[in-house]
Amino acid sequence: MKSILVALLLSGLALMCSAQISKIESKIVRSVEIHNQTYVQLLKDVVNTNSGTMNFDGVRAVGMTLKPYFDDLGMETTWVSGESFNRAGHLVAVNKGTKGPKLLLIGHLDTVFEPDHPFQSFQMLNDSLIQGPGVIDMKGGDVIILAALHALKDAGVLKDMHIEVVLTGDEEKSGSPLELSKKAIIEASERADIALAFENADGDPRTIVVTRRGSSGWKLEVTGNAAHSSQIFTERVGVGSIYETSRILNAFYTELSTEENLTFNPGVILGGTAITYDNNKNGGTAYGKSNVVAKQTLVNGDIRAVSLEQLSRAKEAMLRITAENRPGTSSELTFKAGGYPPLTETEGNHVLLGYYSKVSQDLGYGEVKPVHPRKAGAADVSFTNGLVDMAIDGLGLAGSDDHTANETGNLNYLPIQSKRAAVLMYRLCFDTN
């Protein structure tokens, strides 16, 4: 696979000598412009179909709306059942050409908005701004994938390209076990050389993601001696679970908060004489009196790191801090299995960014720079880490406020992103000889 990276470096140098697009690239651009309204309507249709992760029928409905478009491109489409990991499933489409590197395109069908959420429909705010659940995260990206592939077909080159598309149905709330939930992406990554993901990145089309922080969970459980509050701090009673929890959390902050690109957030805390916690509801109850030393405290949080090495160092420090118990207390810190791995920053990812930026400039849309890791959350592309030569994310629709009822996209960028993606894929497959 290293030959692909070398070839791209060499062809990238050649392309720097020319700022013009080729005749085939002109056909690609023209196709996107001709069919843009078709894909605007498709975006409206899928946004108006609720596909909250746990609305399995809705997720499948969005997949079945997109499937005929892949079929019309001549791709082999498959619905991967999600029964084994308690989700709707995934849509996979494959084009088995033989020219150039094998490309993996990544998107997702689900949103964070379940059927009981009030935010349900597509609407035009003006002549270019749209609002709706998933317009940028990431139904806009799914539509851009199709528009780009359509343009490649119209230009007569798609048939020669090896492209696999994986649109997952559980990106926003992953199924379990994770090894089955992400099996389709992992296996596709093992077959691919280059991964292109169509999330919306930080909403700025002048940037692209070359690294993403991973995300996983942790749980802190602390026990103290229940006693009358008048006896707190004595040798027999100690400090109680709440004071010990506060020591641990403060030490996490003091020792680790200044490390670049590392974050760890205590999302919920319960403490008192007795507590209950329901994982399915992400909440619970706490009972206690002001004159009783707290016996139990629980904290659930997440941790995000830019590399596996950084994550390992942080875990070691947190475990060490937790073990340094104050008198009369005991504590246990556990890290949840699974989670999203980081997308490690690599030379290959930067080469691919350079190629994409050159495409953007040749099309008249300007230079593209990398997103800061703190602005790029966990996403499915991270499961390609170490399996492909190069990967970037953020090729989706530009907009703002995803995961909120103000989620907004800019339709002016639908053809722009489609052109950039299509020309990038064309050059990757045909400019490396």
Q: What is the pTM of this model?
A: 0.86
How many angstroms separate the CA atoms of 288 and 280, rounded? Answer: 24
What pLDDT sits at residue 18? 46
Give mean pLDDT, residues 409-416.
97
Give per-residue pLDDT as tens, 256-305.
Answer: 999 999 999 999 999 999 999 998 788 899 999 999 999 999 999 999 99
Answer yes or no: do 10 and 63 share one domain: yes
| Confidence band, pLDDT 50/70/90 cuts, at residue 20 | confident
H helix runs in 73-159, sequence order: 139-154
Neighbour-count burial for 205-220, b at 16+ CB within 10 Å, e otherwise: bebbbbbbbbbbebeb
Tokens of 238: 């100690």
Answer yes or no: do 206 and 221 share one domain: no
Provide the β-strand partners of residue 131: 123, 408
Answer yes or no: do 34 and 94 share one domain: yes
pLDDT at position 343 over 90 = yes
User: What's the CATH number where 218 sits?
Assistant: 3.30.70.360
Q: Is pLDDT larger for residue 378 or for residue 243?
A: 243
Answer yes or no: do 93 and 222 share one domain: no
Give mean pLDDT, residues 99-113.
97
Answer yes or no: do 11 and 146 share one domain: yes
How many angstroms separate the CA atoms of 178 and 10, rounded? Answer: 39
pLDDT at position 4 over 80 = no
Q: Tokens 């498709």 belong to which residue?
A: 42
- Which of 310, 335, 360 corresponds to the end of one domain? 335
Across the chain, mean pLDDT equals 93
Answer yes or no: do 143 and 104 share one domain: yes
Residue 185 contacts residue 383 (beta carbons within 8 Å): yes
- Which of 318, 335, 352 corresponds to the end of one domain? 335
What pLDDT sits at residue 88? 98
Tokens of 4: 């692909």
Q: How far is CA 213 from CA 285, 314, 340, 373, 386, in A?
A: 32, 14, 8, 6, 14
pLDDT at position 338 over 90 = no
What pLDDT sits at residue 14? 45
Single-letter code of the amino acid located at 223: T
- Which of 290, 311, 335 corresponds to the end of one domain? 335
Longest CA–CA separation in the chain, Å: 84
Answer yes or no: do 17 and 151 share one domain: yes
Which contacts qualify for 225-232: CB closer than 8 Å, 24 or more apart? Answer: 225/293, 225/295, 225/328, 225/329, 226/273, 226/292, 226/293, 226/294, 226/295, 227/292, 227/293, 228/291, 228/292, 228/293, 229/290, 229/291, 229/292, 229/293, 230/291, 231/293, 232/293
What pLDDT sits at residue 2? 46
What pLDDT sits at residue 375? 80
3-state secondary structure of 306: coil
Q: Domain tally for the chain?
A: 2
Answer yes or no: do 52 and 127 share one domain: yes
pLDDT at position 424 over 60 = yes
Give per-residue pLDDT as tens, 286-300.
Answer: 999 999 999 999 999
Tokens of 120: 């349900």
Answer yes or no: do 44 and 94 share one domain: yes
Which residues span the domain enclosing 77? 2-212+343-430
| Confidence band, pLDDT 50/70/90 cuts, at residue 11 | low
What pLDDT sits at residue 377? 74
How many angstroms separate the CA atoms of 366 and 359, rounded? Answer: 9
H helix runs in 48-83, sequence order: 56-72
Answer yes or no: do 378 and 331 share one domain: no
How many angstroms separate the CA atoms of 431 and 425, rounded? Answer: 10
How many angstroms separate the CA atoms of 55 and 113, rounded? Answer: 9
Give mean pLDDT, residues 20-35.
96
Answer yes or no: do 196 and 110 share one domain: yes
What pLDDT sits at residue 376? 76
Give per-residue pLDDT as tens, 153-199.
Answer: 999 999 999 999 999 999 999 999 999 999 999 999 999 999 999 99
Closest CA to 322 of 237, 256, 390, 263: 256
Give mean pLDDT, residues 38-66.
98
Answer yes or no: do 203 and 219 share one domain: no
What pLDDT sits at residue 16? 44
| Confidence band, pLDDT 50/70/90 cuts, at residue 143 | very high
Give per-residue pLDDT as tens, 395-406.
Answer: 999 999 999 999
User: What's the CATH number where 111 sits?
Assistant: 3.40.630.10
Give mean pLDDT, residues 79-89.
98
